[in-house]
Amino acid sequence: MNTMKENISNILLMIALLIGILIYFLASGFTTSNKAIKAANIEIAVIVNKENPVTASSASEIKAYYLREKTRRWPVINKNIRPVANKNNNAEQTTFYQKVLNMRADDVEKYFISRQYQSAEKPQDKFSSDKEIIDFVGNEIGAIGFVNAASLNAEARSKVKVLLTVN
């Protein structure tokens, strides 16, 4: 009987402790890297290699390819889908995550880490600038990425194809 009472009191103590911790963190507004970078009023372009015949144009189709949800290889060319991202969580990335993937930056990160951990799937290739992303997508037939639409000059457009623009 005493053991039962001790157990109940332990459980109640734990519940109180957990609620206390929860309230503390919520009240103190404890935030992390999920801190929202508001999508600035910019236009981004979702790009693939010029040789990729894919014609996806809706956000949901692009999300399915980028996250390799429905397919891990591109149709027709049968090449590995290689999602590309920025090393830093900049305004272009925030716009893409929010408006195309409809996900938080941490959730995207966790998604790719989990896939890598479960089945050796290659996570995103990350670059520091739009130019590096355009160069990579232009050279890698399976790549899909996003850049500021203003970065797509004539030379860039000769290497990559725009699937969708978002602002």
Interface with another protein by CB under 8 A: which residues?
A: 3, 6-7, 10-11, 14-15, 17-18, 21-22, 25-26, 30-34, 69-73, 78-80, 102-103, 106-107, 109-111, 113-114, 116-123, 125, 142
Nearest approach, Cβ of residue 104 and another protein (Å): 8
Nearest approach, Cβ of residue 48 and another protein (Å): 16
Dist CA 131 CA 28 (whole Å): 40
For residues 151 and 134, is the Cβ–Cβ distance under 8 A? yes
Name the token pair of 63: 């999300």
The answer to whether the Cα torsion of 146, 150, 154, 155 is positive or negative is: negative
Nearest approach, Cβ of residue 35 and another protein (Å): 11
Dist CA 11 CA 47 (whole Å): 54
Nearer CB in complex with another protein: 145/152: 145
Nearer CB in complex with another protein: 117/153: 117
